[in-house]
C-alpha cells in the first residue's frame, strides 16, 4: 500500500533543500563534463575523426558485438531462467546464487578469468569477448526474466492446454507474450552493458576487436588525441540515448497487465519426463562450464608455476618492482582500492541518500530528479572518466593528479544504485508515523530522525556495501583518473598483464583472485544484510 | 447406471499433497449430457480432482476413461476436456475475440472462419459485439462469461467448471448459474461443476454429489 502524499507536517525538510547537494554534485561533476565533451567533440577538428574509415569499423564492431552478445546471452540464459525458477530440485537456491556471482565481479577479473581458462589462441578474438559477455550477463537474464517467470500464474498455460494447445503452441502463444516485456528489459540491459563494455574487451581483445570505449581510451591515453576521443564520446552518448529511447518505448508498448502469483515456490515442477531432465542437466552443465570453470581457472592459474604448483606469484605480489621507483608493489594497490572504496561509500550514501529523500518527498519534479541522478549509470564509465579528465585538468578547478578524482568518478556511478536501494524503503515508511511523532511534540527533523532513520539504517548499510563493491571493481572511469603512483587493484592488474614475462602474468592472476575474493565477500555480506531476499537489480 | 453407458469414468483416483492424502480412491461416472455438481468444503480436493480429469495433474494411482478409451496417459491438449477456472484468466495480451478464438486457432481453424465463430459464441454468452474489447476492460461477470465462451469454442467433449462464479456476488451468481445450466443442456455437453455452494449446485446440476461420498472407493463404478 502506497502511503498518501506527504504533507508539510510530515516532511523533515523541503524537497528542494534536500535536492541542492545532489543536483550541485551532479551538475558539477557530470553535467559540466558532458557539456565539455559535446562542445569539444563537435568542433571541426574533432569531427575529422568521423571521416576516417577505421572509425566506422570501430562503430560497426561495437554495435555488432553487442548485438551478438545480447542474442547469445538470451539463448544461453533463457533456459537457465526457466529451470532455476520453475523446476524443483535440490540445490536450486544455491545455484541461483552461484549464477548471480559473475555479474557482481569486476570486469577486469572476468577478463583475467577467461585469459586463464581459454586457450592462448583465443585471446584477441571476438569469440573470447562474446563468451566473457555471456558469462558476465547470464545473471541479468536469469534474474530479470526469471523473477517474472517464477511469478507467472501457471493457470494461463493450463487454460491454453485445456483449449487444445500443444506444449510448443502454449510456449509460443501464451508464455512468450507474457514474458516478452521482461525478455526485452533484460535484452536492453545486456545490450547496454556490452555496448559499453571496456574492461573485458581491453583484457581479452586484440587489434581487430576495438570497441568505441577502447578507442576513446587509446586515443586519450596513448595517442593524446583528445579531440578525436571527444567526437567518439559524443557518438557514444548519442548511441546510448537512442538505445534507451527505443527500449523504453518498446517496453511500454508490449507491457501486459497480468495476474502474478505471490508464492512462486508453491508450483515448482519436479522434472520427471526425459525432456525435462535433459534440460535440467543442460543448465547445470552450462553453469558449471560457463560460470564456475572460469573462476576456478583464475585461482588455479595463480598457483601454476613452471608446470608445477607453487605460491611464487603470490609472494611476488609484495616484492615485484621492489627497488624501482616506478610503481608501488602490487599489494599496495589493495590499500589504495580500499581507501577509495570507503570514501566512495561515504560520498555515495550521503549524496544518494539526500537524492532519495528529495525524490520521495518532492511534490513535483520527482521523476525528473530521479532520471537526472540515474543518468551517469546510463552513460558509460569511460565517458564519466574522460569527461572528468578533460574538465578538471584546467582552471578554474584543476584537480589533475589529485587522488579525489577517482572516488568522485566512482561516486557518480554508485549514486544511482544507492538511490534505487534507499528509495523503495523510504517510500514504504508510512508518513503517518511521522505525524504521530509530531503530535507527541517532536519537530519535523526530530520526527524524521527518530522514525524514518532507524527504519532506513539497514537500506543505507546495503547501499554502502554496493557503493563499496562498485568502487573496488570500477575500471572504465578509473583508467582515466588513477594516478600512476597510486593504481587501484583493477588498474594494477591490467598493468601487470601488459608487462612481459611469466612473473607479472602470474602476479596479475593472483591479484585478480584477491580482487575477486574481496568483492565476493563484500557482496555476500551486503546480501546477508538484505536478509536473504533477492531484490531488484 | 452402468459403466458402459457412462461418458466419463473416474476410478480409484488417489492424490497426495506432499505426504497428506488429498484424494483417496475417488470414483465418479458422468452420463452423456449430464451435468454433475460436485460439492465439498474448500480444501477438500475438488479442484484437484478436476485437474486430474483435465490431465493437469498426475494421480498417484487410478485412471480416467472416456467411454472405452483410457485417458490417464493422454496429454491435456488431446483430451478435449474444457476447463473454466475460478478466475477468468483471460490472456492479457489478447483481446476478447483473440481469447475466444484461441482454442479454434489451436485446432487449426483459419483466422476468418474463427472470427465468425467468435461472434456466435459471444452472442451465446450474451456479450455480442465485444470481440475487439481488451480483456482488462470487462467486469468480473463479463470476463467469466468470456472465459466460458472460450472454453466452449473448441467443442469440448466434457466441460469442467471449477467454482466459476466463486468470485462473483450472489445475485450475479444465481443468474449465471441458470444461464449456464440452460446453455449446457442446449449444447448437450456433459459437465462437472464444482462448488461449495449448495444453492448453486441445485440450480445448475442434474445430479448433486458430495466429494466425501465418492472417496474410499465408495463412488467408483469400476
pLDDT value for A2: 44
Rounded CA-CA distance A238/B38 in Å is 64
pLDDT value for A442: 81
C-beta of residue A355 within 8 angstroms of C-beta of residue A369: yes
Rounded CA-CA distance A491/A482 in Å is 8
Q: Per-residue confidence at A245, pLDDT binned at 50, 70, 90? A: confident
Q: What are phi and psi of B137, to 5 degrees?
A: -90, 0
B158-162 and B191-195 beta bridge pairing: parallel
Residue with grid cell 557482481, as numbered in its chain: A104
What Rg do the C-alpha atoms of chain A give, in angstroms? 24
The share of chain A scoring above pLDDT 70, in percent, equals: 93
Q: What are phi and psi of B122, to 5 degrees?
A: -65, -35
Q: Model confidence over A288-339: pLDDT tens digits? A: 998 999 999 999 999 988 888 888 888 888 877 654 545 678 888 899 999 9
Q: What are phi and psi of B158, to 5 degrees?
A: -150, 140
Q: Is the pLDDT of residue A4 over 60?
A: no
Query: How far is the first Cα of chain A from the last one, in angstroms, to the nearest whole number?
Result: 22
Q: Which residues in A395-533 belong to E strands, given as ranges?
A: 397-398
Q: What is the DSSP secondary-structure string of A234-269?
A: HHHHHHHHHHHHHHHHHHHHH-----B-S-GGGGPB
Q: Taking Cα atoms as reference points, which of B221, B222, B214, B199 lies closest to residue B26?
A: B214
What number is the average pLDDT over the span B136-153? 91
Among partner residues A153, A163, A259, which is closest to B102 by beta-carbon distance? A163
Q: Is the pLDDT of residue A3 over 60?
A: no
* Mean pLDDT, chain B, integer: 88
Q: Which residues in A208-333 belong to E strands, given as ranges?
A: 304-305, 308-309
pLDDT value for A6: 46
What number is the average pLDDT over the span A274-297? 92
pLDDT value for B212: 87
For residue A161, the chain B residues in CB contact (below 8 A) are 55-56, 75-77
Residue with grid cell 558469462, as numbered in its chain: A135
Q: Model confidence over B174-206: pLDDT tens digits? A: 888 888 888 888 888 999 999 888 888 888 889
Q: What is the DSSP secondary-structure string of A354-404?
A: HHHHHHHH-SSSHHHHHHHHHHHHHS-HHHHHHHHHHHSEETTEE-TT-TT
B35 — contact with chain A (CB < 8 Å)? no
Rounded CA-CA distance B9/B64 in Å is 6
C-beta of residue A312 within 8 angstroms of C-beta of residue A509: no
Q: Model confidence over A371-405: pLDDT tens digits? A: 888 888 878 888 899 999 888 877 667 777 788 89
C-beta of residue A205 within 8 angstroms of C-beta of residue A53: no
Q: Which is more confident, A314 or A14?
A: A314
pLDDT value for B91: 92
A164 — contact with chain B (CB < 8 Å)? yes
Q: Model confidence over A438-455: pLDDT tens digits? A: 788 787 788 888 888 888
- Crossing angle between the packed helical segments A32-41 and A381-391, to the nearest 10 degrees: 90
User: CB B151 to CB A155 under 8 A?
Assistant: no
Q: Read off the DSSP letter of residue A171.
A: I
Residue with grid cell 501464451, as numbered in its chain: A174
Q: Which is more confident, B166 or B59?
A: B59
Dihedral sign computed on CA atoms, order A337, A342, A345, A346: negative
Q: Taking Cα atoms as reference points, which of A425, A462, A459, A465 lies closest to residue A345?
A: A465
Please give the helix or strand (H or E) that residue A70 lies within, else none: helix A53-86
Q: How far is B178 from chain A (nearest CA, A)?
A: 24
Task: List Cβ neighbours of B167 (8 Å cut-off, separation of 6 or more).
Answer: B86, B87, B140, B144
* Mean pLDDT, chain A, integer: 86
Q: Model confidence over A200-212: pLDDT tens digits? A: 999 998 888 899 9
Task: List Cβ neighbours of A5 (8 Å cut-off, separation of 6 or more).
Answer: A363
User: How many residues can be counted in chain B?
Assistant: 222
User: CB A177 to CB B93 under 8 A?
Assistant: yes
B61-66 and B69-70 beta bridge pairing: antiparallel
Q: Which residues of B86-112 are buried (b: 16+ CB within 10 A; e: fewer)?
A: bbbbbbbbbbbbbbbbbbbbbbebeee
Q: What is the ipTM of this complex?
A: 0.90
C-beta of residue B10 within 8 angstroms of C-beta of residue B28: yes
Among partner residues B76, B85, B91, which is closest to A174 by beta-carbon distance? B91
What number is the average pLDDT over the span A429-435? 79
Angstrom distances, CA of residue B121 to CA of A444, B93, B102, B127, B146: 62, 20, 13, 9, 9
B155 — contact with chain A (CB < 8 Å)? no
Q: pTM here?
A: 0.84
Furthest-apart CA pair in chain B: how many Å? Answer: 50
Task: List Cβ neighbours of A65 (8 Å cut-off, separation of 6 or more).
Answer: A126, A129, A130, A133, A194, A209, A211
Q: Is the pLDDT of residue A102 over 80?
A: yes
Q: Is the pLDDT of residue A491 over 80?
A: yes
Q: Is the bond leading into A396 cis (omega within 30 degrees of zero)? A: yes
Please give the helix or strand (H or E) that residue A196 lies within, else none: none
C-beta of residue A327 within 8 angstroms of C-beta of residue A485: yes
Rounded CA-CA distance B86/B108 in Å is 28
Interface subset of B 70-129, CB within 8 angstroms of A: 75-83, 85, 87, 89, 91-93, 102-103, 106-107
Q: Which residues in chain B belong to E strands, given as ranges?
A: 8-17, 20-30, 35-39, 61-66, 69-70, 81-84, 158-162, 191-195, 207-210
Q: What is the dihedral of CA A398, A402, A406, A409, to 10 degrees?
A: -20
The share of chain A scoring above pLDDT 90, in percent, equals: 41
Q: Taking Cα atoms as reference points, which of A464, A162, A130 lies closest to residue B160?
A: A162
Rounded CA-CA distance B99/B101 in Å is 5
For residue B91, the chain A residues in CB contact (below 8 A) are 156, 159-160, 174, 177
For an interface test with A, the pick among B77, B144, B164 (most A C-beta atoms closer than 10 Å) comes out as B77
Q: Read off the DSSP letter of residue B164.
A: T
Please give the helix or strand (H or E) that residue A434 lies within, else none: helix A431-439
pLDDT value for A504: 87
Amino acid at each position: 500500500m502506497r502511503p498518501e502524499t506527504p504533507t508539510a507536517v510530515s516532511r523533515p525538510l523541503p524537497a528542494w533543500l534536500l535536492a541542492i547537494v545532489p543536483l550541485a554534485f551532479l551538475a558539477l561533476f557530470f553535467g559540466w563534463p558532458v557539456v565539455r565533451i559535446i562542445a569539444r567533440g563537435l568542433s571541426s577538428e574533432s569531427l575529422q575523426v568521423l571521416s576516417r574509415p577505421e572509425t566506422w569499423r570501430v562503430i560497426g564492431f561495437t554495435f555488432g558485438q553487442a548485438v551478438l552478445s545480447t542474442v547469445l546471452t538470451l539463448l544461453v540464459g533463457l533456459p537457465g531462467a526457466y529451470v532455476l525458477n520453475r523446476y524443483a530440485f535440490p540445490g536450486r537456491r544455491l545455484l541461483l546464487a552461484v549464477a548471480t556471482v559473475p555479474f557482481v565481479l569486476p570486469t577486469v577479473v572476468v577478463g583475467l578469468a577467461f585469459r586463464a581458462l581459454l586457450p592462448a589462441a583465443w585471446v584477441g578474438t571476438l569469440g573470447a569477448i562474446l563468451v566473457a559477455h555471456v558469462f558476465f550477463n547470464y545473471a541479468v537474464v536469469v534474474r530479470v526474466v526469471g523473477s517474472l517467470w517464477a511469478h507467472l500464474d501457471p493457470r494461463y498455460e493450463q487454460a491454453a492446454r485445456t483449449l487444445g494447445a500443444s506444449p510448443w503452441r502454449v510456449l509460443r502463444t501464451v508464455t512468450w507474450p507474457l514474458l516478452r516485456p521482461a525478455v526485452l528489459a533484460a535484452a536492453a540491459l545486456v545490450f547496454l552493458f556490452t555496448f559499453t563494455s571496456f574492461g573485458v574487451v581491453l583484457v581479452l581483445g586484440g587489434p581487430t576487436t576495438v570497441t568505441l570505449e577502447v578507442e576513446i581510451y587509446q586515443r586519450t591515453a596513448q595517442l593524446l588525441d583528445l579531440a578525436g576521443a571527444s567526437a567518439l564520446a559524443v557518438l557514444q552518448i548519442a548511441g546510448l540515448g537512442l538505445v534507451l529511447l527505443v527500449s523504453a518505448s518498446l517496453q511500454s508498448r508490449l507491457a501486459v497487465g497480468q495476474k502474478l502469483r505471490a508464492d512462486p515456490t508453491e508450483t515448482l515442477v519436479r522434472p520427471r519426463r526425459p525432456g525435462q531432465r535433459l534440460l535440467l542437466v543442460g543448465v547445470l552443465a552450462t553453469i558449471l562450464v560457463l560460470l564456475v570453470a572460469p573462476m576456478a581457472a583464475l585461482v588455479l592459474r595463480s598457483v601454476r608455476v613452471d608446470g608445477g604448483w607453487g605460491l611464487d606469484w603470490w609472494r611476488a605480489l609484495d616484492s615485484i618492482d621492489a627497488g624501482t621507483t616506478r610503481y608501488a608493489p602490487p599489494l599496495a594497490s589493495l590499500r589504495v582500492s580500499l581507501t577509495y572504496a570507503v570514501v566512495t561509500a561515504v560520498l555515495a550514501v550521503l549524496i544518494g541518500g539526500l537524492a532519495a529523500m528529495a525524490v520521495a518527498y518532492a511534490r513535483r519534479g520527482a521523476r525528473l530528479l530521479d532520471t537526472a541522478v540515474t543518468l551517469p549509470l546510463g552513460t558509460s564509465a569511460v565517458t564519466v572518466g574522460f569527461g572528468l579528465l578533460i574538465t578538471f585538468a584546467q582552471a578554474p578547478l584543476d584537480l589533475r593528479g589529485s587522488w579525489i578524482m577517482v572516488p568522485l568518478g566512482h561516486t557518480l556511478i554508485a549514486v544511482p544504485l544507492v538511490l534505487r536501494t534507499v528509495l523503495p524503503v523510504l517510500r514504504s515508511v508510512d508518513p503517518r508515523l511521522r505525524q504521530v511523532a509530531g503530535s507527541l511534540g517532536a519537530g519535523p527533523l526530530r520526527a524524521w530522525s527518530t522514525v524514518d532513520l532507524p527504519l532506513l539504517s539497514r537500506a543505507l548499510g546495503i547501499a554502502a556495501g554496493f557503493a563499496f563493491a562498485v568502487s573496488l571493481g570500477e575500471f572504465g572511469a578509473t583508467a582515466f583518473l588513477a594516478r600512476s603512483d597510486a593504481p587501484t587493484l583493477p588498474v594494477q592488474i591490467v598493468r601487470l598483464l601488459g608487462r612481459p614475462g611469466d612473473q607479472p602474468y602470474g602476479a596479475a592472476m593472483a591479484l585478480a583472485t584477491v580482487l575477486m575474493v574481496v568483492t565476493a565477500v563484500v557482496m555476500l555480506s551486503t546480501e546477508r544484510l538484505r536478509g536473504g531476499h533477492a531484490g531488484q537489480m | 447406471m452402468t459403466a458402459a453407458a457412462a461418458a466419463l469414468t473416474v476410478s480409484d483416483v488417489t492424490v497426495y499433497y506432499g505426504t497428506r492424502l488429498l484424494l483417496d480412491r475417488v470414483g465418479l461416472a458422468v452420463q452423456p449430457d449430464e451435468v454433475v455438481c460436485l460439492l465439498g468444503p474448500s480444501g477438500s480436493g475438488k479442484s484437484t480432482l478436476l485437474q486430474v480429469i483435465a490431465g493437469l495433474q498426475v494421480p498417484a494411482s487410478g485412471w480416467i476413461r472416456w467411454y472405452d478409451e483410457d485417458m490417464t496417459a493422454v496429454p491435456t491438449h488431446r483430451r478435449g476436456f474444457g476447463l473454466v477456472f475460478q478466475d477468468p484468466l483471460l490472456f492479457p495480451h489478447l483481446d476478447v475475440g483473440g481469447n475466444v478464438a484461441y482454442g479454434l486457432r489451436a485446432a487449426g481453424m483459419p483466422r476468418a472462419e474463427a472470427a465468425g465463430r467468435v461472434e456466435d459464441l459471444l452472442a451465446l454468452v450474451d456479450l455480442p459485439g465485444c470481440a475487439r474489447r481488451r480483456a482488462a476492460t470487462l467486469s468480473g461477470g463479463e470476463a467469466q462469461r468470456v472465459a466460458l465462451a472460450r472454453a466452449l469454442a473448441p467443442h469440448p467433449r466434457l466441460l469442467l467448471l471449477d467454482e466459476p462464479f466463486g468470485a462473483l456476488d450472489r445475485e450475479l451468481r444465481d443468474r449465471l448459474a441458470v444461464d449456464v445450466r440452460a446453455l449446457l443442456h442446449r449444447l448437450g455437453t456433459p459437465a462437472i461443476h464444482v462448488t461449495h455452494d449448495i444453492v448453486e449446485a441445485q440450480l445448475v446440476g442434474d445430479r448433486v454429489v458430495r466429494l466425501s461420498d465418492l472417496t474410499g472407493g465408495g463412488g467408483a463404478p469400476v
